[in-house]
Chains A and B, each alone.
Chain A
Amino acid sequence: MSAGPELAAPASGAMVPQPFRVRSRRRETSDTWTLTLEPLVGAPISPGPGQFTMVYAFGVGEIPISVSGAHDGLLVHTVRAVGAVSAAIASARQGAVLGVRGPFGTTWPVHDAVGHDVLVIAGGVGLAPLRTAVQALERTRQDYGEVTLLYGGRSPGDLLFRRELESLRRRGKLSVDVTVDAARPDWAGKVGVVPKLIDAAHFDPATVIALVCGPEVMMHFSVTALRERGVASEQIYLSMERNMRCAVGHCGHCQLGPTLVCRDGAVYSYDTLEPLMGVREL
């Protein structure tokens, strides 16, 4: 199989944040917000699916955030407020200015997956980095075999993009299966873990391309379920998180074995990751 994470050309001026204005801000969950940003100077950026940018809250700090959308020259980020910087970014109001560097990193192999079944597996905020891949798959739906999105979250209230998921399901181009860890009886969806959805999903294990993003433990169990279904390592792609700082492969903070996540990831083929994920404290 020739599929592999797709390398994108590095952005020019990769170390200098460009000013972006917050055009709109939408609440997704109790602690997660989606910001739509417009560039104030220079050309709009065109991130590929799965790439990230470094977003700078002036005077607070800079963090890597996956791109959850890009259209009409606008950049969309979905941010969970878990620390000082992400909280500052998530709370940026309409009209506020943030710094943006990038885009950086590899992309989901949506082009290499043409002609194959595609299984998109997301957990929690891990749906955000997969959102543009899902949009691309739906746009060119006729180029693929079975396309399935499996999404798991802690509770119905913690799910991202709920309206979009409903619309996606209604349009019927992709199979959409959502599960949560626990719910009240008014929840019409499933309750259970993502690997159980994998067991029941329809795809050809010999040729499917699986795109997986979520907490590392969830990805580990998802990969196990995929392998048990007979999916080979090189058909599985994961988006990894490490402590990315420079984002251009200089500082080494995001080293993962012989790779740097900012440069060689964040999207990796699992055959690259398999020997690394078995090493504790790596």
Chain B
Amino acid sequence: MTTLAELMKDAPFFAGLRTETLELVAGCGSNVQFEPGALIFREGEQADIFYLLRHGSVSIEAYASTSGPLVIETLEAGDVLGWSWLFEPHRWHFDAHALTGVRATAFDGACLRAKCDADPALGYELVSRFAQTLIERLQWTRLRLLDVYGHVGRS
């Protein structure tokens, strides 16, 4: 039977982590599934978890009472969903829905924060990887802010 740590090591987010570190993180994880359309989390609720998506896709949505829900990002297998568990005030900033059937590994934020407090090297490793994810998504967001498709083209 494949262990959680073995599943994790193939994900880009955990690439290069030593086996013992993977097992330490895996100790806070469990496998979960969501049906298509299921709400994974809602803006403003307590954020004490993050997900490594292993199958399926998830939408990140903003909601405005005047215009309704707007999908601002979709995430796929291999992506990490949720970083609010790591930073105060540990509240979700957006809604997340399963667009398809989703299989994921859910990591307990409180469990991980306790392990990071006890082991700063683990804390540094995780924060570095989340920072990389944040930078990537920030760059993609900046690219979208340019509204490149609105520019005049030859055609």
Q: List residues 69-91 of chain B with CB under 8 A from any CB of chain A.
A: 69-74, 76, 78
A23 to B53, CA, bound (A): 50
Question: B3 on the interface (CB 8 Å rule)?
Answer: no
Question: A124 on the interface (CB 8 Å rule)?
Answer: yes
Say whether chain B's binding surface is mostly helix, strand, loop, or mixed: mixed
A180-206: contact bitstring with B at CB < 8 Å (1 yes, 0 no)? Answer: 011111011111110110001000000
Q: Is the beta-carbon distance between A185 and B154 smaller than 8 angstroms?
A: no
A154's contact among B59, B73, B150, by CB below 8 Å, is which? B150
Q: List residues 78-123 of chain A with CB under 8 A from any CB of chain B.
A: 78-80, 82-83, 86, 123
Question: A211 on the interface (CB 8 Å rule)?
Answer: no
B85-123: contact bitstring with A at CB < 8 Å (1 yes, 0 no)? Answer: 000000000000101000000000000000000000000
Whole-angstrom distance between the Cβ of A146 and the nearest chain B Cβ: 18
Q: Is the beta-carbon distance between A66 and B155 smaller than 8 angstroms?
A: yes
Whole-angstrom distance between the Cβ of A83 and the nearest chain B Cβ: 7
Whole-angstrom distance between the Cβ of B73 and the nearest chain A Cβ: 6
A63 to B153, CA, bound (A): 11
Q: List residues 117-155 of chain B with CB under 8 A from any CB of chain A.
A: 140, 143-144, 146-155
A193 to B68, CA, bound (A): 22
Q: Is the beta-carbon distance between A154 and B147 smaller than 8 angstroms?
A: yes
A123 to B149, CA, bound (A): 7
Question: A49 on the interface (CB 8 Å rule)?
Answer: no
Q: Contacts A188-B99, A191-B73 hold; do A214 and B57 have CB atoms under 8 A apart?
A: no
User: Given the complex, which residues of A lie within 8 Å of B147, measured CB to CB?
Assistant: 154, 181
A80's contact among B57, B70, B78, B155, by CB below 8 Å, is which? B155
User: Given the complex, which residues of B lie within 8 Å of A79, measured CB to CB?
Assistant: 155
Whole-angstrom distance between the Cβ of B151 and the nearest chain A Cβ: 5
Q: Contacts A123-B148, A185-B61 hold; do A217 and B143 have CB atoms under 8 A apart?
A: yes
A64 to B155, CA, bound (A): 7
Q: Is the beta-carbon distance between A80 and B153 smaller than 8 angstroms?
A: yes
A254 to B13, CA, bound (A): 45
Q: Nearest residue in A to B152 (C-beta to C-beta)? A: A82
A32 to B149, CA, bound (A): 13
Q: Give B contacts to A, CB under 8 Å.
A: 57, 59, 61, 68-74, 76, 78, 97, 99, 140, 143-144, 146-155
Q: Can you list 23 A-B pairs, Cβ within 8 angstroms, ordered by A?
A: A66-B154, A82-B153, A86-B155, A124-B148, A124-B153, A126-B153, A129-B155, A181-B147, A182-B71, A185-B59, A185-B71, A188-B99, A190-B74, A191-B59, A195-B140, A195-B143, A214-B149, A215-B149, A215-B153, A217-B146, A218-B143, A241-B153, A241-B154
